[in-house]
Structure formats: structure tokens, C-alpha cells
A and B are shown apart, each in its own frame.
Chain A
Amino acid sequence: MKVLKALVVMLVLGMAMAAYGADKPVKVGFVYVSPIGDAGWSYAHDLGRQAVAEMDGVTTSYVEAVAEGPDSERVILNMARKGYDLIFATSFGYMDPMLKVAKQFPKTSFMHCSGFKKADNMGNYFGRMYQARYLSGIVAGAMTKTNTLGYVAAFPIPEVIRGINAFTLGAQSVNPDVTVRVVWTKTWYDPATEKEAAKSLLDVGADVIAQHQDSPGPQEAAQEKGVYSIGYNSDMASFAPKAHLTAPVWNWAPYYAKVVDSVRKDNFKAESVWPGLADGIVDLAPFGPMVPEELQAKVNGVKADIAEGKKKVFAGPIKDQKGTLKLADNTAATDNELLGMTWFVEGVVGTTE
């Protein structure tokens, strides 16, 4: 009897909801590669998740510190089995595991960050972080006194190389004499090694330290030496208030809200998207008090130009480290060229191997 009652209530409620055109409830799962408390990559994604959780009828949950490979497949599979409507996997190595699960659960929607494989119900997304890195390069190029910038970088993959190149081009746009020295740590998150890498750059005369790493280790090193730093992922000013000039940051909330909304309205499309400054998915953290106002205005001007499409970051002429012309005058790099970038622009000291 009770069961019948409950069924009737549900039926009535369901009809009422349909009558009001209310959106169906959506369960959204997130898979993170590192703990969210890291002020880094996963933290930025989780800010997006928190924004989505505020939406009506949306419940979210996440699993953090999931290793890439078989572990991630189990986590994604579990979420799909539990009836999640939409799953975001936010690390490159989740691509193949997610693809496998997506094929088994055709009614569930899957989104993979930073990869390139797709299925009918699995799309991928990333942001044009290089645009924000170009802006941070302008700040670094204008603030350096030694004309040597240091860049602590994780792995020599196109995403990171593209960021280093964009940073260098930005710095050169205001300071043609600038060189960018690169040290690879071969880790995304190891504060001790990253800090030591930053120190090694400080030792060779760098006076602004930028990073493509997820820990604030390099920021600490810059502050202790009394020089400047550029953060990454999210505002890292709290770790090094005296050093932190700005940081290229992720802002996933608007994009995540859009995807969740499409699932709610039953018009999810498995697309590949690569939005940038124009969509607000990447941005600069607030400037530190040491950045002069004229410089802030200049950077904001360039930001508007990039957002409006008036300026391209990778526009010829661009030479590589050996001085070979890679991009001719008046041509802009195509997305495929950007996604497969494995060479450094002129002015970078280091190797991509």
C-alpha cells in the first residue's frame, strides 16, 4: 500500500514538474587527478564544480587524487553505473579509460578535459591558456631588470611548450632583449623539486619566475629571494604576496554550467571545444600592488584585443631557437599547429627533449 502511495505521489509530482516545464534533475560527477586542496589544477576545476552545484536540480560529487589508467576507469565506471547523467574527467590520462566506459553507457554524457578522442556521447574540452600566458609574459617582460625570466615547467608536451612560447612572445613584445630559461621537473606536483628548480633559475640570474606546475613551490622560492613570480591555475598570491605579479588562471564555472544546462535540456552534443579569453575560461589573476598602473592598462588593452580576435598570439613572423622562420609574416598559426607544437621560439633557452 505504501509503495502504491509513493508511486502516486511521484507520478503527480512528475506531472506537475512537466507542467511547469521544470528541468530534470541532473547528477554530475567530476574526476580529479590530484587532491583539490592544492591551489592548482584540480582546485580550479572544483571551483567550477561548486558553481554547478548551486544550479537548481543539480547534484554533484567528485573523486579526487585518482591515478590515471586502470584506477580512473574504475572510478568513471562506478559513476556511470550509479546513474550519473554527466561525468567530467579532468586529466589527459583519463582519455582512454573514459572512452571505454562511454561506449558501455551510451545514455550517459561524458566530457574529457585536454584530450582529443571522441565518441557519440563523449566530447572533449580545453582552454586557450596560452592567451593568458601571453598576457602574463607582458607583465614579466616589463618587470624584469636582468632581462632573464625563469620558467619551471613540468613535461615537454605541446600544451606546456605552447605556454612557454606564448609567455616568451608576450615578454618580447615589450622587451625584445628578454630571454626565457626553462627547467623541466618531469612532475606536475612536487613542491620540493619545483622549488629547487626555481632556485636553480634564480642562481643563473632570473628575476621573474613563471611556472607550469601545480604547486606553489616556485612562488616561495621567488619570494625568499626577493624577486617576482607569475603563478598558475588559480590566484597564488597568498603563498607569496610580495612576489606574485599575477597568474594565468582557469575559470571553468561558466563552461561547466553551459554543459550541465545542455544535459538538463537533453541537447548535449559531444563536441571538441577550445575556448579562450573571449569566453572567460582563461583569465589573469588580479595584479599585485607592485605592477604599475600603466602596465596593467596596457595588459588589459591587449587582453581586449585578443578577446575580440583583433590580435593573435602566434602571428608571424616567428622564428624558432635556431633562427629558422617557422611562421611567415602575416600568417597566424592554425589550431593543429598549436596543438602539435614541439619547438621553442627564439629567445627561449632550453631544450624540448
Chain B
Amino acid sequence: MNFEITVLLLAAAVQSGTPILYATLGEILTEKSGVLNLGVEGVMILGALVGFLASKVTGSPLAGLLAAGAVGCVAAAVHGLVCLVFQGNQVVSGLALTILGTGVANYIGTGYVGQLAPGFAPYPMPVLSQLPVVGTIFFNHDPLVYLSYFIPVVLFLFFSRTHHGLNIRAVGENPAAASAAGLNVAVYRWFGIIGGGFFMGLGGAYLSLAYTHLWTTNLTAGRGWIAVALVIFAFWKPGRAVFGAYLFGGIMALQLRLQASGTQLPSSILLMLPYALTIVVLVLSSWKKGTSDEPAALGVNVEPAD
């Protein structure tokens, strides 16, 4: 692997990490409010399908993207309904959402498999893309990748510098205390769930509008689950999520490039890498729990205040 191929590998890492990044940030927003949403995979695939269909019908990828975000909100709201209104088990509801989302998307999408829709094309950033190395890695992508650069920053500032961001964290850490302090716990949790669903929907749309311009069954191929694991890896910090998402994207891109450059390693071992890394990451993260920002009340339902 020479220098030039390494740079291209890093560029590919950014691109294949982007859909996971959107989903991971969405899950962080949700979990910060104290709600565990294991339905990421289902929300993503619905976003991928609806984004694709909307772009196909309207001819505008931007409309597709917004539709994907909207359907992400709706799908996540189902989870909110179960957990916040009916006090259902968050783990079970999330798993059900994954199964439901995958099933519905594959059912509706069957007739559209293999068709093309207008999507986002690569748009090299003026000036920035001319920078050596950094230009190729970060500024030679489609607009959705550039958009994903801003979200972690916005989320970081939101959680650490704004009134409502701090309130969300309070609700996730200690809902009883937050409620006693006069915060409306349910409203903040709804915000976390629906806002998170929006980003998960965008992550799905990235797959059908930018990564490829196609729809197919199981397009997300388990990326939603990787996002769930990455939240733990990231210690619930948006900045670390960026690192984690690109690391996973990089491993996925690396195994293909190792093959392309003629390695003699069996491809089965190379294909195992992303999943082996997931396990290593989970083990390491649970070991170093001290520095984590895990919300203390994650997965705990709160009775609606009367």
C-alpha cells in the first residue's frame, strides 16, 4: 500500500463512515434524554426507502433527504408512543421497531428494487479540495458528507452550552430531580426521540441517495446495529462518534482495498474485521466505564407527571 492508496483509503473511510455517523449521532441524542432506541436499523432503512421514493417522485434529492428525515421522526415517534405514553419496555419496543421497519421497507420497496433515483453527486469543495492530502480525504465528497461535519459540533455545543441541551442531559441523568426542578421530562424525551429519529433517517437516506443511487432490500445491511455499538464506543460524546464512525468505515474500506492490492490473506478473515472490532470496542468500553458520559437513567421509564 503506497501513500496515494492510503489517502484514497482514508477518503473512502470518511464516506463509508458517514451513514453510520448520522445514525450514531441520532442515537446519542435519543439516549442523552434517557431513552434507549434499539430500532436504529429499522428507522434507517425506512429513511433509505422513503428518501429514495421521494427523490424519484419529485426529482429532487433534497426533497428525498427531508422526506427521509421526516419518516425517521415518525418511525421514532412510534417508539416514543410505546415508551413515553404506554410505559412499555424500551428494549423490546426498539427491537420491534427494527423488525417492523425492515419488514415494512422491504415490503413496500420490492417493486422498486434495482431502479435508479436522482441523488447527490460528488461535489469537490472549491479551494479546500485542492489542499494536499486533507483535500482528498475530507473535501472531495458529496454534500451530505459536508453536512455531517457540522452536526457533531452543533450537538456538542447544544449539550454543553445551551439551556435546553443541559436540560436534556438532566432528564437523562435523573428524571425525578429534573421533574422536581420544574422540567417537563416527557417533552424533553420526545425531543430526544424524534430529533434522533431525524438523524437516523438521514443516515438511511445517505445509503440510497449518495452512497448509491439505488434502492434494494436490506440496503442498510446491519449499519444501524453498528451505530448502537458505536454510541457506547463514543462514551455518548458526539466528537468521539466521529472518530468511531470513520474507524469503522475505514476498516470496511480497508478490507476491500487490501484485497484489491493483492494480499494473500483469506478474504474471510478480512471480512471479519469490522465485526471483530465491534466486539473489541464493546469490551474495551465497558472496561473503561469511568470516563463515560452514559446517562444514568438510560432505559428507565418515567411515570407521566400529573
Contacts and interface: CB of A to CB of B under 8 A. Distances in A.
A37 B111 contact: yes
Given A38-B113, A196-B252, A197-B260, 7 more contacts: A35-B114, A37-B113, A150-B260, A183-B256, A190-B218, A191-B216, A196-B12
A149 to B, nearest CB: 12
Contacts of B219: 191-192
B122 A224 contact: yes
Interface string B118-140: 00011000000000000000000
A307 B263 CA distance: 37
B9 to A, nearest CB: 7
A38 B114 contact: yes
A190 B85 CA distance: 38
Interface in B209-226: 211-214, 216-219, 221
A195 B119 CA distance: 15
A353 B212 CA distance: 28
Interface in A145-178: 150, 156
A185 B260 CA distance: 11
Given A192-B207, A200-B260, A353 B268 contact: yes
B152 to A, nearest CB: 22
Given A39-B114, A195-B211, A204 B216 contact: no
Contact of B267 (A35, A349, A353): A353
Chain A contact residues (Cβ within 8 angstroms of B): what range? 35 or more
A34 B5 CA distance: 35
B267 A186 contact: yes
Interface in B223-276: 252-253, 256-257, 259-268, 271
Contacts of B212: 191-192, 195, 217, 220
Interface in A306-336: none
A244 interface: no
Given A182-B259, A192-B211, A204 B5 contact: yes
B267 A65 contact: no
Contacts of B8: 203
A195 B15 CA distance: 12
B110 A196 contact: no
6 contacts: A193-B221, A206-B260, A216-B114, A216-B214, A220-B213, A353-B266
Interface in A223-279: 224, 238-239
Nearest to A155: B267
Contact of A38 (B211, B216, B253, B265): B216
Chain B contact residues (Cβ within 8 angstroms of A): what range? 35 or more
Nearest to B9: A203
Contact of A37 (B5, B110, B259, B261): B110
A204 B114 contact: no
Contacts of B122: 224
Contacts of A181: 260, 262
B116 interface: yes
Nearest to B116: A239
A183 B214 CA distance: 21
A182 B213 CA distance: 24
B115 interface: yes
A314 to B, nearest CB: 24
B217 A65 contact: yes
Interface of B: 5, 8-9, 12, 16, 106, 110-116, 121-122, 207, 211-214, 216-219, 221, 252-253, 256-257, 259-268, 271
B114 A183 contact: no
A191 B12 contact: no
Given A37-B110, A215-B114, A351-B264, A197 B256 contact: yes
Contacts of A192: 16, 207, 211-212, 219, 221
B168 to A, nearest CB: 32
Interface in A40-60: 40, 43
A189 interface: yes
A303 interface: no
B21 to A, nearest CB: 15
A350 interface: yes
Contacts of A197: 256, 259-260
A65 B260 contact: no
B253 A196 contact: yes
A190 B221 contact: yes
A203 B253 CA distance: 11
A62 interface: no
A201 interface: yes
A199 interface: yes
Nearest to A215: B216
Nearest to B2: A204
A199 B12 contact: yes
Contacts of B265: 351
Nearest to A193: B221
A200 B257 contact: yes
Contacts of A224: 121-122
A217 B211 CA distance: 10
A305 interface: no
A223 to B, nearest CB: 11
B6 to A, nearest CB: 10
